[in-house]
Amino acid sequence: MSKTEILFTDAIKDAVYQSIKKDKKFFLMGEGVSDPSSMWGTIKGVSKKFGKSKTVEMPVAENGLIGVAIGSALNGSKVLINLQRVEFALYAFEQIINNAAKASYISRGKHNVPIVIRLVIGRGWGQGPEHGQSLENIFSAIPGLKVVIPAFPEDAKEMLISSIFDPNPVIFLEHRWLHYSKGKVENKFKIKKLSSFKKITNGSDLTLVANSINLLEAFRIAKLLRKYRIRLDLLNFCMPNPFDNNLLLKSVRKTRRIVSIDLSHKTLGLSSEIISTISDNKIKLKTFPIRLGLPFHPVPSSRGLVKNFYPSGKNILIAIRDALNISDKLFRKILNEYNKSTKKIPIDVPDPYFKGPF
Amino acid sequence: MNNLELISLYKSLYLIRHVEEMISKNYSKGQMRCPVHLSIGQEACATGLISNLKLTDKVFSNHRCHAHYLAKGGSLKKMLCEIYGKKNGCVGGVGGSMHLQDLDKGLVASIPIVSSSIGMATGNALYQKRRKSNEVTVIYLGDAALEEGIFFECANFAALHSLPIIFACENNMFSVYTNLKDRQLDSNFKKYADAYNISYKRLDGSKIDEVYKKTKSIINFVRKNKVPYFIQMDTYRFKEHCGPAVDDHLEYRDQKEVNYWKKKCPIEYAKKLMKRKKINEKKVETIQKNIEKFVIKEFKFAEKDKLPSYKDAERFVYV
């Protein structure tokens, strides 16, 4: 195992180039698949190097073209579709839900649809109501789809390769702010089994569940609390669909306390599923489960309006305080240290901490 | 078209007609417990074109898929078991009448949401092109499919990439109860093909000789030149949109129009052709009887076949 510290975007690029080498039938589709911005540099040079044998320009016709990808995939072609925003995929809900998600089921396994739809999600710089959604709970409500959400650069490469080589259709949700992060990434091509949860830190006091950009904040907090002998079992909820709850239940049976953070709206979000599963499995908690997430209104553009919109580090710390019944004195100390470690930055640009390295 | 070809076409036409009539007749027994969209009246659009295809050519269909499935050689036994919701159904009972497929025969998928299979079919043609294969893809669509965005998205893509795909449009003039007049400017679909510089041909979909002869050269053209083609076949469904009966009492169709098309019945038309070609009537009767015997046998099998186990319901969600 040899690892190199690289950018998240380069980790994606690595996955793409190595997948091209591994599978002759693999190709990329995208709106502007060969344009100079190259999806934040993640597919830079692919078109130049491999030409039309590996890239198919996608007219701005998401439903039809995802249908085309499905039709190619039925024959065994692996297709990576690159869309600049999750909202464009809404045009293709019909194909994604009716055909991609059901081809295997209807054909009794004779068809499979090995496509990956990379969708950029995220916040910042006034993206607004129709450029700032994540919709992971919506995609996760459909049997037959896989929903994969990387957080660290290491995830980006490993999970993208595993998604490309997965025979099922995968929705791959990439947060814009993660693109700028750095971390150690395995050099080699490796396919790993995708699972719903990945253990990030080990602890017996409380289970903290987060994904994507929220995981980075949660990771910072887990490290901070360690100094105060508060040990969190931090789980990366990296594949909400299909939902395998083994690691979650194991963790909660140990900690008997949980805080879960939604990337999307709290109401009807994925934390509802997390907490319901704990209840279904009759696990008695020591304190009430807590969930954090976005309020139930669209994402506004103005930085004035998003002031309390996203769960902050402080929100997470308060939730943990409530779950663990941390004394006011200790909490003030922790919060003080947290505030000192975080720089005062505007709410609409990424925290420098998110750059890593991780 | 020689006599042997005509007889072979008639066998396919009569099989489709008789199966559909039997479904219609037996539906009220309550054992075929899924929606059925019968192809009665539209048989020649399926048989005429598909008879010119090779086994390896691929067909994609829609909610009204029985005729396409049977014309492509799909197993009748598996089709009926599927409609009866039985274990030996072509997709094990999960799909019902609207999801017929027989991969061994090249009927890849039937998707019952209007236009939904056009994308997959175009993707199949893209695959054929990329693999430099000699196959062609046929996508059967109805007139209403031409109102959906995905048709235009795929027509653009097929033209742009010069894909070997035939848009086989069966214009039966109704979307459920709504007349084409209330949905589109006129009934000439050439304008849609012209928009993307796609070759176009309009055919009388009730005339088996016309459909067979013209589509033979079209298919050869598409195979040779690797280009898309749009075929408009005007036709008429004799039964209701969905179900075993007729719904003309609802008066959404002009009775004169109904009578006009019934006079053009594709089966009767084919019979006249055979008569003109002096094909022995007795021979035709024997053909029909043999088909009827075969169909009854398969219906009996489907009626007696077991229901699938509920345990199978959760299989194959993921590969």
The domains located in chain B, with CATH, are 3-314 (3.40.50.970)
B64-81 average pLDDT score: 98
- The residue whose two tokens read 């910072």 is A220
Spatial distance between the Cα atoms of B46 and B235, rounded to a whole number of angstroms: 11
C-beta atoms of A61 and B122 within 8 A: no
* Arithmetic mean of pLDDT, A237-251: 98
Query: Which tens digits make up the pLDDT trace of A280-313?
Result: 999 999 999 999 999 999 999 999 999 999 999 9
Can you tell me the distance from the alpha carbon of A282 to that of B64, in angstroms, rounded to the nearest whole number? 48
**pLDDT tens digits, B170-187:** 999 999 999 999 999 999
Sign of CA dihedral A269, A273, A279, A283: negative
> ipTM, 2 decimals?
0.95
Best of A24, A26, A68 to mutate (most B CBs within 10 Å, chain B) = A68
**pLDDT given at position A345:** 85
| Per-residue pLDDT reduced to its tens digit, A184-204 | 999 999 999 999 999 999 999
Give A343's pLDDT tier (boundaries 50, 70, 90).
Answer: confident
| B-interface mutation test, from A107, A168, A171, A194, most B Cβ less than 10 A away | A107
Q: The whole model's pTM is what?
A: 0.96
Torsion of CA A54, A56, A57, A60, to 10 degrees: -140
Tens digit of each residue's pLDDT (9 = 90 or more) over B7-44: 999 999 999 999 999 999 999 999 999 999 999 999 99
Percentage of residues of chain A with pLDDT beyond 90: 94
A38 Cβ partners below 8 Å, 6+ apart? A44, A45, A46
Residues of A in contact with B116 (CB under 8 A): 67, 94-95, 98-99
Q: Is the dihedral of CA A142, A102, A95, B110 positive or negative?
A: negative
A106: chain B residues, CB-CB within 8 Å: 91, 94-95, 99, 101, 109
Across B154-185, b (16+ Cβ under 10 Å) vs e yields: bbbbbbebebbbbbbbbbbbbbeeeebeeebe
What 8-state DSSP symbol labels residue A278? H
Looking at chain B, which runs of residues are DSSP E strands? 58-61, 107-110, 137-142, 165-171, 174-175, 178-179, 199-204, 229-234
Can you give the pLDDT at residue B50?
Answer: 98
CB contacts, 8 Å: A167 with chain B: 319
pLDDT higher than threshold 90 for residue B217: yes
Q: What confidence tens digit (pLDDT) does each residue in A134-169 have? A: 999 999 999 999 999 999 999 999 999 999 999 999
- Report the candidate in B16, B165, B28 with the shortest Cα–Cα distance to residue A67: B165
Residue B65, φ and ψ in degrees, nearest 5: -110, -5
Is the pLDDT assigned to residue A86 strictly greater than 90?
Answer: yes
Q: What is the pLDDT of residue A344?
A: 81
On the question of pLDDT at A1 being above 80, the answer is: no
Q: Between B92, B120, B130, which is nearest A67 by CB?
A: B120
Averaged pLDDT, B62-82: 98
Nearest to B215 by CA among B32, B92, B59: B59
Chain B nearest C-alpha distance from A24 (Å): 11
DSSP 8-state secondary structure symbol assigned to residue A94: I
**Domain residue extents for chain A:** 3-186, 197-355
Considering the domain A197-355 in this protein, what is its CATH number? Answer: 3.40.50.920
Nearest-by-Cβ selection for A98 from B113, B316, B318: B113
- The Cα A262–Cα A145 span in angstroms is 19
Distance CA A72, CA A94 (A): 17
Confidence band of B206 (pLDDT split at 50, 70, 90)? very high
- Asked if A200 and A235 touch (Cβ cutoff 8 Å), the reply is yes
Could you say which of B113, B122, B149 has the minimum Cβ distance to residue A71? B122
**Any bridge partners for residue A261, and if so which?**
A292
Do the bridges between strand A55-57 and strand A27-30 make them parallel or antiparallel, or are there none, so unpaired? parallel
Percent of chain B with pLDDT over 90: 100
- A3-186 shares its CATH topology with A197-355: yes
Rounded CA gap, A312 and A326, in Å? 19
Rounded distance between C-alpha atoms, residue A215 and residue A203, angstroms: 16
Task: Decide the pairing of beta strands A197-201 and A232-237.
Answer: antiparallel
Measured between CA atoms, the residue of chain A closest to residue B122 is A68
Class of domain A3-186: alpha beta
Q: What is the pLDDT of residue B47?
A: 98
Chain B residues at the A interface, defined by Cβ less than 8 Å, are: 91-92, 94-95, 99, 101, 103, 108-109, 111, 113, 116-127, 130, 149-150, 152-154, 156-157, 160, 315-319
Judge: B125–A71 Cβ closer than 8 Å, yes or no: yes
Q: What pLDDT digit, counting tens, does each position of B55-66 carry?
A: 999 999 999 999
The pLDDT tens digits of the residues spanning B78-109 come to 999 999 999 999 999 999 999 999 999 999 99
